[in-house]
Amino acid sequence: MPVEATVGLRLAALTALLSVVFAPGALAQDTRAIQVREAQRTDERTFAYFAQFRRALVARFGADPLLSMLVFSESEGEALVHKAPDALAEHAIFQGGQWIGTDGRQLKAWAPDADPAVARFRLSAVKEPMLREKFRAHRAQPAKATDHLGGVKVGYFGAPFNRLMAEVTVGSMTTFGLSVIAFDLGSGQALDVNAAIADARTKRAAAQAKEAAAEKVAAQRNLRDEIVAVLAQYRREMGPARLMAVWIAPKRVTFIQADRAVVDYDPRGTFTRRKDPYDQIWLCAEGFDDGEIDWNGFPTLIEKAMLARSLDEEDRAHAEISVERPRECAPTEIEVKFANYKAPRPSVTFDGKGRLKKAR
In a domain, 208, yes or no: no
- Which domain covers residue 285, as residue numbers? 223-359
* Shared-domain flag, residues 150 and 30: yes
* Shared-domain flag, residues 181 and 235: no
Answer with the residue of higher pLDDT: 23 or 341. Answer: 341
Please state whether the peptide bond connecting residue 160 to the residue before it is cis, i.e. omega within 30 degrees of 0. yes
* Shared-domain flag, residues 163 and 229: no
What confidence category does residue 8 fall into, taking pLDDT thresholds of 50, 70 and 90?
A: low
Does residue 344 register a pLDDT over 50?
yes
For the chain, the average pLDDT equals: 90
- What confidence score (pLDDT) does residue 21 get? 45
Q: According to the 3-state scheme, what is the secondary structure of the chain?
A: CCHHHHHHHHHHHHHHHHHHHCCCCCCHHHHHHHHHHHHHHHHHHHHHHHHHHHHHHHHHHCCCCEEEEEEECCCEEEEEEECCCCCCCEEEEEECCEEECCCCCCCCCCCCCCCHHHHCEEHHHCCHHHHHHHHHHHHCCHHHCCCEEEEEEEEEECCCCCEEEEEEEEECCCCCCEEEEEEECCCCCEECHHHHHHHHHHHHHHHHHHHHHHHHHHHHCCHHHHHHHHHHHHHHHHCCCCEEEEEEECCEEEEEECCCCEEEECCCCCEEECCCCCCCCCECCCCECHHHCCHHHHHHHHHHHHHHCCCCHHHHHHEEEEEECECCCCCCEEEEEECCCCCCCCEEEEECCCCEEEEC
Choose the final residue of a domain: 164, 188, 212: 188
What confidence category does residue 177 fall into, taking pLDDT thresholds of 50, 70 and 90?
A: confident
Lowest mean pLDDT among 60-69, 171-180, 224-233: 171-180
Does residue 15 register a pLDDT over 80?
no
- What confidence score (pLDDT) does residue 34 get? 86
* Shared-domain flag, residues 249 and 178: no
* Shared-domain flag, residues 159 and 18: yes
Report the number of distinct structural domains present in the chain: 2
* Shared-domain flag, residues 59 and 123: yes
* Shared-domain flag, residues 147 and 248: no
> Which residues are bridge partners to 174 per DSSP?
none
* Shared-domain flag, residues 67 and 132: yes
In a domain, 212, yes or no: no
> Which residues are bridge partners to 184 per DSSP?
165
* Shared-domain flag, residues 175 and 239: no
Q: Identify whether the C-beta of residue 76 lies closer than 8 Å to the C-beta of residue 93.
A: yes
Q: pLDDT digit string (tens) for 51-106?
A: 999 999 999 999 999 999 999 999 999 999 999 988 999 999 999 999 999 999 99
In a domain, 78, yes or no: yes
In a domain, 56, yes or no: yes
The pTM assigned to this predicted structure is 0.58
Does residue 9 register a pLDDT over 80?
no
In a domain, 218, yes or no: no
In a domain, 201, yes or no: no
Answer with the residue of higher pLDDT: 201 or 80. Answer: 80
Rounded distance between C-alpha atoms, residue 223 and residue 235, angstroms: 16
Rounded distance between C-alpha atoms, residue 179 and residue 330, angstroms: 76
Does residue 244 register a pLDDT over 80?
yes
Residue range 268-280: average pLDDT? 96
* Shared-domain flag, residues 261 and 164: no
- What confidence score (pLDDT) does residue 12 get? 52
Choose the final residue of a domain: 141, 163, 188: 188
* Shared-domain flag, residues 30 and 169: yes
Residue 135: alpha-carbon gap to chain centroid: 34
Q: Which of 65, 86, 61, 74 is nearest to 168 (CA)?
A: 74
* Shared-domain flag, residues 264 and 342: yes
In a domain, 214, yes or no: no
What confidence category does residue 200 fall into, taking pLDDT thresholds of 50, 70 and 90?
A: confident
- What confidence score (pLDDT) does residue 20 get? 45
Please state whether the peptide bond connecting residue 299 to the residue before it is cis, i.e. omega within 30 degrees of 0. no
Rounded distance between C-alpha atoms, residue 213 and residue 192, angstroms: 32
N- to C-terminal Cα distance for the chain? Answer: 75
What confidence category does residue 360 fall into, taking pLDDT thresholds of 50, 70 and 90?
A: confident
Choose the final residue of a domain: 188, 213, 240: 188
In a domain, 291, yes or no: yes
Does residue 136 register a pLDDT over 70?
yes
